[in-house]
Structure 1
């Protein structure tokens, strides 16, 4: 006797997936940031990796006068230079990338293994570059602030008054503020509390808060410790006697200014090696091109546990 119940059998999802091609993404890297600082700096090529900064000595002693009709009253003078001039040397951020040839031969579809390994390593090197531009103890921004260019907040949290104080230190054509994203958020809260929400400006397709028309640029490389950070204000460019980035042009295997990738060969273990090098430095041409607001309170460590990794 036949059963009145008919079983409905069909291919299930798990079995079907065995014949399906998954769409594979290129590898993502969570630590990659926009690196606005390197975009906003003006970069100068240097010869032989050396940049000599010449400064005027005792500018107040240069004598000039508003002469009357008698030209015999004209003063004579000259402009002296500081000696010796400080020399800046390019800093190298380098690594050697190793890729087994078997891996690149067999597993390079749909994504080229060598290309992706190089791309990710270069991203990490560029992140290190931005960190060095800010934190390097020899030439970084934080180490280059003159003592008279350091100010402190009035209350702890960053306020419009504090940023105005920074603007008195870098008043000649200031370009941008640079600080940790937490400080920008804290500044926004203070502005809202005072009823003066800061306007925004569009740069590189992104929106930035501004104060007095000067954008606040975020970088997670600005250090945060014990709930405190710093806010920098910069003037940039050689023509403005400001902050200037330095790089070495014409490198062998140059991929972008100051960055080179060179194939080093394949060893007896079938490992292909690539030397990745980035040469850069930074110079503050005059003291009044850079100022910093110290001890800016942005919150306690336990309130933002995931933002203090660097």
Structure 2
């Protein structure tokens, strides 16, 4: 009599998984960066969306005289200001987030759908904000750096000499260099080739290369064109007559400085809408608050386009 072998009976993985609870993360978005520039700027609240920068004209005409231990008259003087000072107006970055109420009602466990949609939208807006602070033709760091504070790069990678020249241009309490991450990598390679590897410093729980004690801050919003990028040296803060970020305070629905979220209602198609707005700008208080190294060669073979697209 022939006996048929029976396969062992057991619960399979797929059937078991249908009864199990899966651990889920919140949505991860690779486009989110640390946005170091935004953290390092001194931020100033403004009223009515306008920031006026009053500057002294003809500072050389201010007369100062040392005491000569005689009865010579003391010179009289005054400090004159510009009659038409420059004003900076806040710019707005807007978007409208739409979420169907069915989605938020049925699928908000364990992660609230509206909260996650708002979080990712706000992150995207803040990424755009940093791009504007660097690249805006109206107030961005690159466009607004004074002509006599710009240094064209001699063909080749960024060198210690180049960064020393930036320090010579922006020598009054400079705060940090700013460039594309590939610019920092190219500078590090050149320093190593010359036998002067740059030290590092810890900030915000991360390590940064430094030169002359000044950290090199990376931002992927700094443009890269034909394998070349720029290096900025920046002094920050009102007290130092440097670069300041500007934001509107006291917004309705404020989530963070200059950023607000407003519920716009639910339409007849059951779509809930939220207006997300960010108001900010940037002001360079004196021309020597920034210096720019233009067109440093960082890669001879590839053109890595910037993530910022204006």
The TM-score range, normalised by the shorter chain, is: over 0.9
Deviation at 1:71, TM superposition (A): 4.3
Distance across 2 between alignment mates of 1:34 and 1:308: 16
Q: 2:237 matched to which residue of 1?
A: 237
Deviation at 1:201, TM superposition (A): 0.3
Distance across 2 between alignment mates of 1:228 and 1:261: 38
Deviation at 1:70, TM superposition (A): 3.0
Deviation at 1:156, TM superposition (A): 2.0
Deviation at 1:102, TM superposition (A): 0.9
Deviation at 1:154, TM superposition (A): 3.7
Q: 1:190 matched to which residue of 2?
A: 190
Q: 2:269 matched to which residue of 1?
A: 269
Q: 1:112 matched to which residue of 2?
A: 112
Describe the SS at the equivalent of 1:70.
coil
Deviation at 1:27, TM superposition (A): 0.7
Deviation at 1:69, TM superposition (A): 2.4
Q: 1:89 matched to which residue of 2?
A: 89
Give the TM-score, by structure 2 length. 0.96
Describe the SS at the equivalent of 2:237.
coil
Deviation at 1:23, TM superposition (A): 1.5
Deviation at 1:122, TM superposition (A): 0.1
Equivalent residue runs for 1:1-310 within 5 Å: 1=1, 3=3, 5-300=5-300, 302=302, 308-310=306-308
Distance across 2 between alignment mates of 1:70 and 1:268: 88
Alpha carbons 2:222, 2:306 under 8 Å: kept: no
Describe the SS at the equivalent of 2:291.
strand
In the alignment, structure 2 segments of 5+ residues that lack a partner are none
Deviation at 1:6, TM superposition (A): 4.4
Distance across 1 between alignment mates of 2:76 and 2:158: 49
CA RMSD for the aligned pairs? 1.4
Alpha carbons 1:57, 1:82 under 8 Å: kept: yes
Alpha carbons 1:176, 1:233 under 8 Å: kept: yes
Distance across 2 between alignment mates of 1:101 and 1:301: 50
Distance across 2 between alignment mates of 1:184 and 1:121: 29
In the alignment, structure 1 segments of 5+ residues that lack a partner are none
Describe the SS at the equivalent of 2:226.
coil
Deviations 1:98-124 (A, max 9, x none): 111111101111110000000000000
Deviations 1:50-105 (A, max 9, x none): 10000000101111111312344311111111120000001111111111111110
Q: Do the aligned partners of residues 71 and 91 (structure 1) sit closer, same or farther apart at CA in structure 2, a change above 3 Å counting? A: farther
Distance across 2 between alignment mates of 1:142 and 1:233: 11
Equivalent residue pairs, number:
308
Distance across 2 between alignment mates of 1:225 and 1:280: 27
Distance across 1 between alignment mates of 2:50 and 2:301: 41
Describe the SS at the equivalent of 1:142.
helix
Alpha carbons 2:155, 2:296 under 8 Å: kept: no
Distance across 1 between alignment mates of 2:291 and 2:221: 17
Q: Which stretch shows the higher mean deviation, 112-121 or 149-158?
A: 149-158
Ranges of 4+ aligned residues in structure 1 off by more than 6 Å: none
